[in-house]
């Protein structure tokens, strides 16, 4: 369970998050929508521990721990996963090696045994098949030369392998074709159980046709200004964000 309480954060002199309060119980999928520049990506970066974001007030409790005091790698070991809006390319780093190193770093931190190359490859191949990716994606360098949609699929591959307790998907649907959109949705839906929750940041209702959220929140002006059931996304699609902005 994730509890964000009165979170304020700034980038340099600009206060971007102005008191975000949000609770995601275990097993639930919540969506965040909102106008450009509202602070959605900032929220996901603050949760992941990215440098350059200063939290000035509030707390974030994830499974009983204040994650704002944890290093990014400890957040990952605690089960947090972030799929970026713009996945990074890592020239010279093989995808399979990267995934195995990431998984084993998390397993070590959790006191679990590391997976050897053979055991890992078995796991990775199964995940690749499930996501309808070609196996040679495992051999290529991380995201290098991948198309936009392939990068997003690769993010889903990482998620399938790392099996987080909470996944944050920051506009994972931007630039995806219809098939890739379904694959992202299937990637999330495959992890759905009472121990998994997700925060899906999106501009489009269409992703939420495939990942049906339990709750939809609207972030505007650095705050959650409205929350409601999945049908709220349809309402927003029809009416836009006019009238929801806060000063
Ligand atoms: N490094 C930075 N320096 C100054 N301002 C920044 C920086 N990064 C982000 N911002 C500002 O913070 C605000 C929130 O940005 P953020 O990316 O969180 O919005 P968003 O809701 O994700 O927008 P979008 O829907 O367009 O992706 C924007 O006004 C943006 O210009």
Range name among 78-87, 183-192, 205-214 with the lowest pLDDT average: 78-87
pLDDT for 157 equals 92
For ligand 1, whether the C-beta of 40 sits within 6 Å is yes
- Going from the C-alpha of 93 to that of each of 88, 96, 97, 191, the distances in angstroms are 12, 9, 7, 27
- Report CA(101)–ligand 1 centroid distance (Å): 31
Under 8 Å CB-to-CB from 149, ≥6 apart: which residues?
Answer: 175, 176, 177, 180
- Report CA(16)–ligand 1 centroid distance (Å): 8
* Count of other CB atoms within 10 angstroms of residue 238: 8
Q: Is the pLDDT of residue 77 over 60?
A: yes
**190-238 residue pLDDT tens:** 889 999 999 999 988 888 999 999 999 999 999 999 999 999 999 988 8
Mutation probe of ligand 1 site: the residue of 32, 41, 204 with most atoms within 8 A of C-beta: 41
For ligand 1, whether the C-beta of 51 sits within 6 Å is no
| C-beta of residue 58 within 8 angstroms of C-beta of residue 6 | yes
Q: With DSSP H G I counted as helix, E B as strand and the rest as coil, what are the percentages for the chain, rounded to 5?
A: 40, 30, 35
ipTM confidence score? 0.94
What confidence category does residue 10 fall into, taking pLDDT thresholds of 50, 70 and 90?
very high
What confidence category does residue 245 fall into, taking pLDDT thresholds of 50, 70 and 90?
low
pLDDT for 196 equals 95
E strand intervals along 54-95? 54-62, 65-66, 80-83, 90-94
Range name among 12-16, 105-109, 129-133 with the lowest pLDDT average: 129-133
Return the higher-pLDDT residue of 180 and 21: 21
Q: Is the pLDDT of residue 102 over 50?
A: yes
- Going from the C-alpha of 144 to that of each of 90, 104, 140, 158, the distances in angstroms are 7, 23, 8, 15
Return the higher-pLDDT residue of 159 and 242: 159
**124-176 residue pLDDT tens:** 999 998 887 889 999 999 999 998 888 888 988 999 999 999 999 988 777 77
Average pLDDT over residues 74-100: 87
- Going from the C-alpha of 159 to that of each of 76, 82, 102, 207, the distances in angstroms are 11, 9, 11, 17
DSSP state of 212: -
Under 8 Å CB-to-CB from 84, ≥6 apart: which residues?
Answer: 155, 170
Q: CA dihedral defined by 144, 103, 85, 14, rounded to 10 degrees? A: -120
Structure tokens at 92: 């010279």
Under 8 Å CB-to-CB from 98, ≥6 apart: which residues?
Answer: 90, 142
Q: CA dihedral defined by 90, 95, 180, 176, rounded to 10 degrees? A: 0
CA distance 188 to 216: 16
CA distance 82 to 33: 17
Using the atom order of ligand 1, give the atom closest to the CA of residue 170.
22
Return the higher-pLDDT residue of 62 and 242: 62
Average pLDDT over residues 56-60: 96
Q: Is the pLDDT of residue 246 over 60?
A: no
Q: What's the CATH number of domain 2-239, 3.40.640.10, 3.40.50.920, 3.40.50.300, 3.60.15.10?
A: 3.40.50.300
pLDDT for 237 equals 87
**DSSP-derived 3-state class of residue 146:** coil
Cα angle 26, 32, 33 (rounded to 5 degrees) comes to: 160
Residue identifier of the C-alpha nearest atom 31 of ligand 1: 37
Q: Quote the radius of gyration of the chain (alpha carbons, Å).
A: 18
What confidence category does residue 247 fall into, taking pLDDT thresholds of 50, 70 and 90?
very low
Average pLDDT over residues 177-193: 86
What confidence category does residue 23 fall into, taking pLDDT thresholds of 50, 70 and 90?
very high
The separation between CA 169 and the C-alpha centre of its own chain, rounded to angstroms, equals 3
pLDDT for 187 equals 86
- Report CA(37)–ligand 1 centroid distance (Å): 5
* Mean confidence (pLDDT) of the chain: 90
């Amino acid at each position: 369970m994730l509890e964000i309480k009165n979170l304020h954060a700034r980038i340099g002199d600009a206060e971007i998050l102005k008191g975000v309060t949000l609770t995601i119980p275990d097993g639930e999928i919540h969506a965040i929508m909102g106008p450009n520049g509202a602070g959605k990506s900032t929220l996901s970066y603050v949760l992941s521990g990215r440098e350059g974001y200063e939290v000035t007030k509030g707390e974030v409790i994830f499974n009983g721990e204040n994650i704002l005091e944890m290093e990014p790698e400890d957040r990952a070991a605690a089960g947090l996963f972030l799929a970026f809006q713009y996945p990074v390319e890592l020239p010279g780093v093989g995808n399979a090696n990267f995934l195995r190193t990431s998984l084993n770093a998390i397993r070590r931190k959790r006191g679990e045994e590391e997976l050897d190359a053979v055991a890992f490859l078995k796991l990775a191949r199964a995940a690749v098949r499930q996501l309808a990716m070609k196996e040679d994606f495992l051999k290529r360098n991380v995201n290098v030369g991948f198309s936009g949609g392939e990068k997003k699929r690769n993010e889903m591959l990482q998620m399938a392998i790392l099996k987080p307790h909470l996944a944050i998907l920051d506009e994972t649907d931007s630039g995806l074709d219809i098939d890739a959109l379904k694959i992202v949705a299937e990637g999330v839906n495959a992890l759905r159980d009472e121990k998994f929750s997700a925060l899906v940041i999106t501009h489009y209702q269409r992703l939420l046709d495939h990942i049906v959220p339990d709750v939809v929140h609207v972030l505007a002006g650095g705050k959650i200004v409205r929350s409601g059931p999945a049908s709220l996304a349809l309402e927003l699609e029809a009416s836009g964000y006019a009238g929801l902005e806060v000063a």
